[in-house]
Amino acid sequence: MASDGFRPLDDKSLAEYIKATPSLSSKLGNQIDDLQIKEVGDGNLNFVYIVTSPSGSCVIKQALPYVRLIGESWPMTKERAYFEAMALKEHGRLCPDHVPEVYHFDRAMSLIGMRYLKPPHIILRKGLIAGIEYPLLAEHISEYMARTLFFTSLIYRTTTEHKQAVAEFCGNVELCRLTEQVVFSDPYKVSQYNRWTSPYLDRDAEAVREDNTLKLEVAELKAMFCERAQALIHGDLHTSSVMVTSDSTQVIDSEFAFYGPMGYDIGAFVGNLILAFFAQDGHADPKNDRKAYKDWLLRTIEETWDLFHTKFTALWDKHKDGSGEAYLPAIYNNPQLQQLVKQKFMSDLFHDTLGFGAAKMIRRIVGVAHVEDFESIADAGVRADCERRALDFAKMLLKERRKFQGVTEVVSAIQKVH
């Protein structure tokens, strides 16, 4: 059983563990007596340690058997570390420029050792709150999404390979169930974990719970999330799962990974950029009205989808005579048909992206886990105004996503709300 041999580590026992583990001690130049260990896990689930020695560094991440944010009253499988390590390795193989390397994995200890993303790397969300522009963000994240989603899909793979890979990740049940609950269920009913900026948004939260059309649309997205094994998705690709500098973009925290709908990853990222946009007015001050920054965010939203579309379809063209079994060359045997298939696929994927992105926005405003973009706005009234605009936009987007033909129309709609 995987729980055999598990013990949560602290600074002292972690140093001993590293000493006894060559794949980690070698990364630190075997200078174990001079280790500096710092716990930095500000997330909801895990312990994360930065370990440095005079001649090397690494990050150690250990999963706990409960949700750290809530405590032992919300148990959580430690096996999520196994799926995270597997996803990091697979996505790292497909896109090594944007995924940190895994040095070590210990299944019994639910522990991953990986490359430390040194300063000036920071969490993207913190950079967006600070109003920092990242000129290569759309270029990099679109590359990551295009490569990881394309190469783990049936457009590239045989059905046999795909089924085996799906089976491998089927065990990540608890984290999928957590997503089902907090994204697709809790915000639409009375739930003990839901919260919002009260009393300002009391009526807005109630309106979500009473919106029949919204509930029908969310049911469709939930079914797709649960039933559609389209590609190996990250499963939690928001702006706190990405670390950045001006010329580096690294995707971390893939413990929610499983074979699911591609639009869930793209939507999570785009939806969080839209949240960042709506939060900007709360971070504006007399010295900086954030108008130029909001323009940059809108450009980044647009470029992220456009570049993803370009790169994904280019991979498809390049491998159209490969072993992928979704569209067999013997059937899709003329350019017009190939073009039609691609257009239909990308159009459906775009609408999935908008739906999932909107659902992710809603849960961050009236569900259990909120975003620092809004939470760091000190004035509750100002915060609620920003959140309400984001919520109204998300509800509209979820219900009317099929009306949008392209990302430019979405950006125009965001500007109108604003």
For the chain, state the CA radius of gyration: 22
Average pLDDT in the 281-292 region? 98
pLDDT over threshold 90, residue 242: yes
| 146: CB partners within 8 A, 6+ apart | 307, 308, 311, 312, 315
Interval 80-125: pLDDT, tens: 999 999 999 999 999 999 999 999 999 999 999 999 999 999 999 9
Q: How confident is the model at residue 1 (pLDDT cuts 50, 70, 90)?
A: very low
How many helical (H) and strand (E) elements, i.e. helices and strands, does the chain have? 15, 12
Q: How far apart are CA 414 and CA 407, in angstroms?
A: 11
C-alpha angle 185-186-189 in degrees, rounded to nearest 5: 95
pLDDT over threshold 70, residue 24: yes
- Classify 228 in phi/psi space as left (phi over 0), alpha (psi -120 to 50) or beta: beta
Average pLDDT in the 228-241 region? 98
Average pLDDT in the 374-381 region? 98
pLDDT over threshold 70, residue 245: yes
Average pLDDT in the 257-283 region? 99
Q: How far apart are CA 283 and CA 90, in angstroms?
A: 38
Query: What pLDDT, on the 0 to 100 scale, is given for residue 74?
Result: 79
Q: Global pTM?
A: 0.97
Q: How confident is the model at residue 43 (pLDDT cuts 50, 70, 90)?
A: low
Q: How confident is the model at residue 32 (pLDDT cuts 50, 70, 90)?
A: confident
Look over the chain and give the mean of its residue pLDDT values, rounded to a whole number: 96
pLDDT over threshold 80, residue 265: yes
Helix (H, G, I), strand (E, B) or coil at 258: strand
Query: What pLDDT, on the 0 to 100 scale, is given for residue 44?
Result: 66
Interval 292-336: pLDDT, tens: 999 999 999 999 999 999 999 999 999 999 999 999 999 999 999
Q: How far apart are CA 386 and CA 377, in angstroms?
A: 9
Q: Please answer whether residues 19 and 123 qualify as being in contact, where contact means their C-beta atoms are separated by less than 8 angstroms.
A: no
Q: How many CB atoms lie within 10 A of CB 110?
A: 26
Query: What pLDDT, on the 0 to 100 scale, is given for residue 68?
Result: 74
Q: How confident is the model at residue 385 (pLDDT cuts 50, 70, 90)?
A: very high
Percent of the chain residues topping a pLDDT of 90: 93
What are the b/e assignments for 352-383, b being 16+ CB within 10 Å?
bbbbbbbbbbbbbbbbbebbbbbeebeeeebb
Interval 164-222: pLDDT, tens: 999 999 999 999 999 999 999 999 999 999 999 999 999 999 999 999 999 999 999 99
- Residue 300, amino acid: T
Closest listed residue to residue 145, CA positions, set 72, 275, 253, 234? 234
Average pLDDT in the 46-63 region? 95
Query: What pLDDT, on the 0 to 100 scale, is given for residue 34?
Result: 87
Query: What pLDDT, on the 0 to 100 scale, is given for residue 365?
Result: 98
Query: What pLDDT, on the 0 to 100 scale, is given for residue 104?
Result: 98
C-alpha angle 318-237-117 in degrees, rounded to nearest 5: 95
Of residues 23 and 72, the one with the higher pLDDT is 23
Query: What pLDDT, on the 0 to 100 scale, is given for residue 253?
Result: 94
Query: What pLDDT, on the 0 to 100 scale, is given for residue 84?
Result: 98
